[in-house]
Structure 1
Amino acid sequence: MALWTAGSAVGILVDDRILVGAPIWAKPFKFAASILAYALSLAWMISLLARARPRLARPAWWAGTVVAVAGAVEMVLITAQVFRGRQSHFNHATPFDARLYDVMAGTIVSLWLGALVIAVLLFRARIGDRATTWSIRIAAALALAGAGLGFLMTQPTAEQLAAGDDDAPIVGGHAVGVPDGGPGMPLTGWSTTGGDLCIPHFVGMHALQLLPLFVLLLAVLAVRLPVLREERARLRLVGVAGSAYAAVLALLVWQALRGRPLTSPDGPTLGAATLILAATGLGTLLSLRRGGGPGVREGADPAGPASVPRSSVRSSGS
């Protein structure tokens, strides 16, 4: 996928063809980069799982292999359609285009099921401390939800249903309320005139990287903030971060389905975002306030010498 990302970047530079309002190589570039990050994260989690629960290593390896093969097949088909100058997703223009799209749908279902198996296995093992374990579990669950949102794009849009064409060349789309290929944000291409289901799809899938990175950030900050050296405080903060992430994901889905662009949120969207921000801030403050005194050094015995009764010390002749 790293090579595919680089090759697609070259394609964007040297191939000036435009497809659905974007450079024709933009889709393979974005998919390859996304799958690269997704696959690296899953591979890292599988390695941790194998060390924590060796008996789960084999099924996790097979599930990871399914994800890798499915992602590779998906990229082959997307790239093949680029060389043909044809739209890959939602394309029913010809029987051959429809057949390729059906195969792509099968590979995505296989990828999602492989990721589901890995997520289930992660919930059966403790990886590191509780904060790390739950950050990985929550990240895997949110990534599954984000990937599953892609299935909403395969349904006919309201405009396609209104047209009533049973043999429409394009069925489905990521934009809501406007056609695909309209004005979009730089690089991502997300619609700036209507809703866009690609946004929650992207945000959900990449919880797989962001929540484990959040735990890493807490570990770095713990050097200067004693309250973060306590596992319970970090665990509470992971719960707050996971809840906030899920709430933002739900908000993005709601915003997209109502046909509202990310760049022009309406009053209800801003109100919900304000509530999420306030709840997250309050949860963070409570998590830190309830941390419970100075932190305990990682690996130290919390019931160390300070907990030994003085009478025992005197009687021992010390």
Structure 2
Amino acid sequence: MKQLLEIIKHKNEALFIYGIVCLLGAMVCMVLSKYSTTQVMGISAWIKPLKFLLSVTLFVWTMGFYLQYLENQKQVIFYSWSAITLFSIELILIIYQTAQSKMSHFNVETPLDKFIFNMMAVIITLLMLHTLYIALLFFNQNQFSAPETIILAVKLSIVVTVLFAFEGFAMGAILKHTVGSEDGSAGLPIINWSKNYGDLRVAHFFGIHALQMIPLLTYLLAKTKRDVLIIAFIYFVFVSYTLVNALQGKPFIKL
């Protein structure tokens, strides 16, 4: 892990530093989740920004590592600062709502709340479209300073990540993430996915973390490009299954 961080720091200092800032923010939210009395739907309001800050840290560090393989470094720099800017706005909006004991997502109670929710949707759409453009740059480039299996895994992981990031619109359409009940039902520890009903966050989580999982599984298991395609296909089917399962109102894990 230390070696990976050293590579990211050397190849993309902007995303490396931003990841550290988000990680420090996550630590602050962790402390606040223990000692603050601010709650939303029965749990500490600071859990939401904590999870987002950790997710953003992982995303920017992962992309910071992958982007070293692109020849078009002007586009890499542009994307890096695009991600930093858009994520910063998103996180500020989430933390702003959290500090007021309000839901940041699916909250349309007041005109301001609705504006904030819609603004976050626009921000993530812009970021994912830009990320998809990065995927196109990978597909269009012919030579890489990395094994073909790893590069193919990176390409496919970005596509799957973008696809299931847009799955968030399924939640936005119904203004909740629970299928079969209202949000706030009993959930699994820490992640808080519903124990008794369908939860659209499951597919969203596994989908966006295809960015890490497909290349990791490729590194551990794949020897040929065919192996990579099989890994990516199985992972895609798994995430799709969690989505269909949630849409049917079934919990990911029933306890």
Q: Which amino acid aligns with 1:235?
A: K
2:38/2:99 contact within 8 Å kept: no
**1:180-208: per-residue Cα shift (whole Å, max 9, x none)?**
11110101011111111110001011011
Match of 1:260 in 2: 250
Whole-Å Cα distance in 2 between the matches of residues 176 and 58 of structure 1? 43
The answer to whether residue 218 in structure 2 is matched with residue 212 in structure 1 is no
Query: Could you say what secondary structure the match of 1:85 adopts?
Result: coil
Match of 1:17 in 2: 38
Match of 1:132 in 2: 150
Percent of aligned pairs sharing the same letter? 28
Match of 2:18 in 1: none
Match of 1:101 in 2: 117
Whole-Å Cα distance in 1 between the matches of residues 197 and 218 of structure 2? 35
2:198/2:246 contact within 8 Å kept: yes
Pairing partner for 1:35 from 13, 38, 56? 56
Pairing partner for 1:197 from 195, 200, 216? 200
2:26/2:49 contact within 8 Å kept: yes
Match of 2:188 in 1: 185
Match of 2:79 in 1: 63
Query: Could you say what secondary structure the match of 2:109 adopts?
Result: coil
RMSD of aligned residue pairs (Cα, Å): 1.6
**1:262-300: per-residue Cα shift (whole Å, max 9, x none)?**
1139xxxxxxxxxxxxxxxxxxxxxxxxxxxxxxxxxxx
Whole-Å Cα distance in 1 between the matches of residues 170 and 188 of structure 2? 21
The answer to whether residue 5 in structure 2 is matched with residue 6 in structure 1 is no
5+ long unaligned stretches in structure 1: 157-171, 219-227, 266-318
Match of 1:117 in 2: 133
**1:103-159: per-residue Cα shift (whole Å, max 9, x none)?**
212211121112111111111224322211111111111111121111111112xxx
Match of 2:231 in 1: 241
Moved over 3 A (4+): none
Tell which deviates more after alignment, 2-11 or 126-135.
126-135
Q: TM-score, normalised by structure 1?
A: 0.70
Q: Which has the larger radius of gyration?
A: 1
Aligned length: 232
